[in-house]
């Protein structure tokens, strides 16, 4: 079977606020590794990431999902990209949007609401039923226990109310380059096998430690 066969999953990677697809970031590395292995991977630069407009980002996401219609889609979101995904899910209750989803380091709605540039992303109104329907293969949360953008704790803010399986990575802050998240093989492993638990990057402070749900 050719590597780009249409019955193989297509991957869509969604970045966050102030993200310009920097060299070395784990999302950029993930896109490269998937593409090098012959997978269909899309890592779009969303419009005006420094001053993101929710409708514009939703339109960009819709365009990508439409282009992949008929394929199994695996979505990987980081930071504000997670809130974007939850808004997309909330406005289409009961509709299947993807096969599987990984939400990495979502900022708390209260935190987003405190920044005028991203306040519109804060409260999606999404429910656990919406999330389950949108990705029948499961939505998984990966977060740190000391993320400054989610001081209330991602398990309490997202995992419990939305019924998400989760991997808690101690001491890994916002799971970004500053926290040592350049190479992160565990996310590639999850992309290819949803049964894999996501563990910290080797260069992160939390390497060697993981607390599962």
Span 165-205, pLDDT tens digits: 999 999 999 999 999 999 999 999 999 999 999 999 986 66
pTM: 0.93
Mean pLDDT (whole number) for 77-87: 98
| DSSP secondary structure letters along 53-109 | -HHHHHHHHHHHHHHTTTS-EEEEEETHHHHHHHHHHHTSTT----SEEEEESPPPH
Q: Which residues pair with 165 in a beta bridge?
A: 140
Say if residue 22's pLDDT is above 80.
yes
| DSSP secondary structure letters along 19-42 | ----TT-HHHHHHHHHHHTT-EEE
- pLDDT for res 204: 66
pLDDT band at 8 (very low <50, low <70, confident <90, very high): confident
**Mean of per-residue pLDDT scores for the chain:** 93
Rounded Cα distance, 176 and 105, in Å: 9
- pLDDT for res 212: 38
Say if residue 211's pLDDT is above 80.
no
pLDDT band at 213 (very low <50, low <70, confident <90, very high): very low
Span 110-122, pLDDT tens digits: 999 999 999 999 9
């Amino acid at each position: 079977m050719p590597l780009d066969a249409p019955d193989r999953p297509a991957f869509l990677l969604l970045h966050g606020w102030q993200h310009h697809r920097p060299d070395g970031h784990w999302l950029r590395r993930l896109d490269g590794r998937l593409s090098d292995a012959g997978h269909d991977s899309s890592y779009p630069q969303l419009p005006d990431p420094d001053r993101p407009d929710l409708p514009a980002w939703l339109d960009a996401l819709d365009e990508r999902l439409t282009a992949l219609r008929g394929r199994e889609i695996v979505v990987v979101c980081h930071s504000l990209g997670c809130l974007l995904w939850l808004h997309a899910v909330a406005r289409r209750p009961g509709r299947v949007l993807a096969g599987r989803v990984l939400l990495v380091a979502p900022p708390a709605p209260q935190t987003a609401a405190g920044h005028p540039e991203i306040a519109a992303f804060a409260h999606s109104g999404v429910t656990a039923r919406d999330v389950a329907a949108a990705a029948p293969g499961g939505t998984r949360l990966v977060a740190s226990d000391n993320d400054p953008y989610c001081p209330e704790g991602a398990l309490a803010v997202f995992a419990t109310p939305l019924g998400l399986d989760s991997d808690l990575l101690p001491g890994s802050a916002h799971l970004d380059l500053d926290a040592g998240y350049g190479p992160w093989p565990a996310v590639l492993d999850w992309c290819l096998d949803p049964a894999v638990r996501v563990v910290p990057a080797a260069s992160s402070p939390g390497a060697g430690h993981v607390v599962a749900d």
